[in-house]
Amino acid sequence: MLQTILAPNPSPLTGPGTNTFLLGEDDLVVIDPGPAIDSHIQAILAAGAGKIRQILVTHAHLDHSAGAAALAAATGAPVLAFGDADAGRSPLMQTLADTAGGGEGRDTAFRPDRLLRDGDRIEGAGWSLTAVHTPGHMGNHLSFLWDDQLFCGDVILGWSSTLISPPDGDLLDYFRSLDRIEALRPARLIPAHGAPVDTPAVRIAELRHHRRDRTAQIIAALREGPAGAADLARRIYDVPPMLLPAATRNVLAHLIALHQLGAVETPVAITPESVFSLR
């Protein structure tokens, strides 16, 4: 009833690649068609055997949504999602859209055929899904509850913590989404990258601890004096140089959250180059 097709797009940020899921038997739904790689689209079509009726997209990043148009054209199935790449941003992130940089992997051409909202049900023969709005990694991010299992996209990964890059990513939204997922008490998490998670409560606790520990590291570094996101990332992350840009974006997300909470300040508008100090 559930098939998984791994897209051939491994990388330091996607892990082994994007998981595309096909749910159902005679009335199939595709969750995250993945990147626009012809061999991957052909693999989905072969697995769907002419029975694909709906296409769901968790969020508008190219490794999840770019293949939707080709798959829809080949099957006639509509594409359902929360909205385009700008949808679902918090008011603060909307104000930072022109100054915060970021935009890694955004699918700016993505336009769903039908908009989904939190709590909407998507049904087919023998299956039912409930859309759960879970912003944090991206404002338009949806997860999909299937009985007691949750397709959680990129909010929770099976192999790493997720990238939170403002203005698409929002750390405070991310914590709220972890709380929301925990409250659903799923028996299993099915992420879009990596293996399924059979101990959701343990994984959520690990992710909270990781982010809080990172916040503590940032605050400790700022006690030594004002600093910007790039400088802080170099000081507190132990990663290869190629991953420092992603680390810097994560640090900026933490700094913006701390600024919202009144813990840090910056004398200028928030940009990737802003220097922050403790209040």
Counting every residue written for the chain, the total comes to 279
pLDDT in tens, 217-259: 999 999 999 999 999 999 999 989 999 999 999 999 999 999 9
Q: Give span(s): CATH 1.10.10.10, the chain.
A: 210-278
Q: Rounded to an integer, what distance in angstroms lies between the CA atom of residue 230 and that of residue 248?
A: 5
Q: Which helix (H) or strand (E) holds 149?
A: strand 149-153
CATH of 210-278, one of 1.10.10.10, 3.40.50.720, 3.40.190.10, 3.30.450.20: 1.10.10.10
For the chain, give the mean pLDDT: 97
Instruction: Report the pLDDT value the prediction gives residue 159, as an integer from 0 to 100.
Output: 83
Strands 227-228 and 121-124: unpaired
Q: Whole-angstrom Cα distance, residue 139 to residue 236?
A: 27
Cβ atoms of 79 and 112 within 8 Å: the answer is: yes
Lookup: tokens for 271: 């940009």
2-199 — its CATH code? 3.60.15.10
**Ranges in the chain annotated CATH 3.60.15.10:** 2-199
pTM of the model: 0.96
Q: Express each pLDDT in 140-167 by its tens digit.
A: 999 999 999 999 999 999 889 999 999 9
Cα–Cα distance for residue pair 266/99, rounded to 1 Å: 14
